[in-house]
Chains A and B, each alone.
Chain A
Amino acid sequence: GENVEQHPSTLSVQEGDSAVIKCTYSDSASNYFPWYKQELGKRPQLIIDIRSNVGEKKDQRIAVTLNKTAKHFSLHITETQPEDSAVYFCAARGISGAGSYQLTFGKGTKLSVIP
């Protein structure tokens, strides 16, 4: 099955700086890579996603890049703000042992933006 590694586990940045979170995946057949943001005590919510036929996608201050050859993808947040503080999860859609598609999540990155 798919295996997703996420780094770093914690990240502190000064307000206004950029933050980068990196993930690697193992299944070369994986074709969909979403990123979820989870604020303390809340549910995970999708912030951006990318499909395997695209190398980069941007949405205002958030961007995701994908390198299929190296099997890694990254989340970039520019001009960070205190409300960006949360846990971020990457995920990859791979094929399970039973032959069905499932999302496998990384273990999360706790981002703290210091005012």
Chain B
Amino acid sequence: DAGITQSPRYKITETGRQVTLMCHQTWSHSYMFWYRQDLGHGLRLIYYSAAADITDKGEVSDGYVVSRSKTENFPLTLESATRSQTSVYFCASSEQGGLYEQYFGPGTRLTVT
């Protein structure tokens, strides 16, 4: 599991600030995903990427931006953080988009004050 890492692990920011969460994987997996986890909602997909320079929106993409210039990195940016974006964010990767295991990173706990 050391193959997928996230940074920072904890972050406190203020409303309106821009925040970038980093995700890095060493397996050369083609697919990468960002989820948020909130009590009572499970895991909800924010964005995913099928390969470098290919990204697509998930269920809850409003207020978030992603990029994927390199296969191993998939940063998530909150352009103007809001309190409703307080959550635990998980990055994941898989060899294929659907029929293979998704490996999750350790998560980033973000608090927006």
Q: A residues near B, CB below 8 A?
A: 1, 6, 31-32, 34, 42-46, 49, 51, 89, 91, 93, 96, 98, 100-108
The one of A51, A98, A101 in contact with B57, judged by C-beta atoms closer than 8 angstroms, is A98
Instruction: Name the prevailing secondary structure of the B interface residues.
Output: loop
The one of B1, B56, B101 in contact with A34, judged by C-beta atoms closer than 8 angstroms, is B101
- The residue on A at minimum CB distance from B4 is A43
Q: B residues near A, CB below 8 A?
A: 1, 35, 40-45, 48, 50, 56-59, 90, 97-99, 101-102, 104-107
Instruction: Name the prevailing secondary structure of the A interface residues.
Output: strand
- Asked if B40 contacts A32 (CB within 8 A), the reply is no
Task: Given A89-B42, A93-B98, A102-B45, decide whether A44 and B104 contact each other with a Cβ distance below 8 A.
Answer: yes
From residue B111, how far is it (CB to closest CB) to chain A in Å? 16
Task: Given A1-B59, A44-B104, A93-B99, decide whether A103 and B40 contact each other with a Cβ distance below 8 A.
Answer: no
- Asked if A43 contacts B98 (CB within 8 A), the reply is no
Subset of 8 A-B contacts with CB under 8 Å: A43-B104, A43-B107, A44-B90, A89-B42, A98-B56, A100-B50, A104-B45, A105-B35
